[in-house]
């Protein structure tokens, strides 16, 4: 079984397109088609349904995806034996929450890429549910995200750090000078909110329901850093991860409001599939994350 054919199969399955896979792999499309046909002949069953321009996995193709990833991981592991970091080649598909990417990862990436010079790093951002689904389907190798504690038995958590969601205003906002603000009073002001699928918006809705408050006028923006910019300018209030705006708080361009509710805690986590081999790239990134943000960390092994 040709490893190149398996690699091509994975890319077609992930991209759901022979054309896109050919472009990414720098093949002509006929080569991709030939490789898939060769693999199907060896296996004895069709891997894809081709209806018009749409490509989807057959039931057996879906089952074979897991084995295909295992084969690639085994080959990758064998190729790295005895090599130092300068001579390691490979791919790391990393899913990251947007807030984590800009709030915690940006400063790590240059050092990480400098250490693993031959690594093909592919970063995917998205909603937590979307990233978790891709991890479970082996479309991503690991996740670094902020969410409630993982309860998925198929996933293993290698790092967890408590985080806080906080209410924020610009320094000139009337709420910036008040103490022990009730949630009901706070909700009378305009809010800039994250997308409805996100954990910040979900937690905000839980709070309003718990305290019989009502979120009035709000503007939904799917980028927390755009929200932060607007809050600084006094456009409205926001409820965001504290680590994502830490520098702004230290510089005094934003104010953390004193709201009369318990601390709102959730967790940044590094997750991998239980069956995924921990490559040197993955282990190295986890070590860098732990070194950069060690306070309150612990390792959770889920068997």
Model pLDDT for residues 77-107, shown as the tens digit of each residue = 787 777 777 777 788 999 999 889 888 898 8
- The predicted structure's pLDDT at residue 16: 87
- The predicted structure's pLDDT at residue 217: 65
- The predicted structure's pLDDT at residue 302: 37
- The predicted structure's pLDDT at residue 171: 96
Residues recorded for the chain:
303
The pLDDT tens digits for 115-133 are 998 889 999 998 888 899 8
Predicted model pTM: 0.74
- The predicted structure's pLDDT at residue 296: 52
- The predicted structure's pLDDT at residue 104: 87
Q: Give the separation between CA 190 and CA 186, rounded to whole angstroms.
A: 9
Q: Give the separation between CA 97 and CA 102, rounded to whole angstroms.
A: 9
Q: What is the DSSP string of the chain?
A: --HHHHHHHHHHHHHT-HHHHHHHHT--HHHHHHHHHHHHHHHTS--EEEETTEEEE-HHHHHHHHHHHHHHHHHHHHHHTT--GGG--EEEEEEE-HHHIIIIITTTHHHHHHHSTTEEEEEEE--HHHHHHHHHTTS-SEEEEEESPP--TTEEEEEEEEEEEEEEE-TTSGGGG-SSB-HHHHTTS-EEE--TTSHHHHHHHHHHHHTT----SEEE-S-HHHHHHHHHTTS-BEEEEGGGGHHHHHHTSSEE--BSS--EEEEEEEEEETTS---HHHHHHHHHHHHHS-TT-B-----
Nearby residues of 200 by Cβ (< 8 Å), 6 or more positions away: 165, 193, 194, 224, 239, 240, 241
Show the low-confidence residues of the chain (pLDDT under 70).
217, 295-303
Q: What are phi and psi of 295, to 5 degrees?
A: -65, 125
CA 283 to chain centre: 17
Q: Give the separation between CA 86 and CA 36, rounded to whole angstroms.
A: 33
- The predicted structure's pLDDT at residue 43: 95
Closest CA to 202 of 215, 187, 184, 185: 215
Contact 129, 100 (CB under 8 A): no
> What CA–CA distances, in Å, run from 82 to 3, 75, 229, 294?
21, 14, 48, 30
- Residue 95, beta-bridge partner list: 124, 143
The pLDDT tens digits for 29-59 are 999 999 999 999 999 999 999 887 788 999 9
What are the structural domains of the chain?
Answer: 1-81 (1.10.10.10), 85-303 (3.40.190.290)
Q: Give the separation between CA 227 and CA 174, rounded to whole angstroms.
A: 18
What Rg, from alpha-carbon coordinates, does the chain have?
Answer: 23
């Amino acid at each position: 079984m040709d490893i190149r054919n398996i690699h091509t199969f994975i890319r077609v399955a992930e991209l759901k397109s022979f054309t896109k896979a050919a472009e990414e792999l720098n093949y002509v499309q006929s080569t991709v088609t030939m490789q898939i046909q060769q693999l199907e002949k060896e296996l004895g069953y069709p891997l894809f349904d081709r209806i018009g321009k749409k490509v989807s996995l057959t039931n057996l193709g879906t089952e074979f995806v897991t084995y295909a990833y295992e084969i690639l991981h085994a080959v990758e592991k064998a190729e790295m034996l005895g090599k130092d970091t300068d001579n390691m080649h490979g791919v790391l598909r990393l899913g990251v929450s947007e807030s984590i990417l800009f709030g915690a990862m940006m400063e790590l990436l240059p050092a990480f890429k400098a250490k693993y010079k031959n690594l093909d790093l592919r970063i995917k951002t998205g909603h937590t549910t979307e990233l978790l689904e891709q991890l479970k389907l082996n479309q991503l190798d690991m996740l670094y995200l902020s969410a409630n504690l993982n309860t998925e038995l198929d996933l293993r958590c290698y790092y967890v750090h408590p985080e806080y969601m906080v209410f924020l205003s610009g320094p000139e906002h009337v709420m910036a000078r008040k103490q022990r603000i009730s949630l009901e009073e706070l909700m009378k002001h305009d809010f800039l909110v994250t997308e409805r699928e996100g954990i910040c918006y979900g937690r905000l809705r839980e709070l309003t329901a718990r305290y019989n408050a009502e979120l009035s006028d709000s503007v939904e923006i799917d980028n927390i850093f755009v929200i932060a910019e607007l809050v600084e300018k006094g456009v409205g209030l926001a409820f965001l991860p504290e680590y994502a705006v830490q520098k702004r708080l230290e510089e005094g361009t934003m104010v953390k409001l004193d709201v009369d509710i318990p601390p709102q805690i959730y967790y940044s986590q590094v997750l991998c599939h239980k069956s995924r081999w921990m490559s040197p790239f993955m282990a190295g990134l986890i070590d860098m994350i732990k070194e950069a943000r060690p306070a309150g960390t612990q390792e959770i092994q889920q068997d």
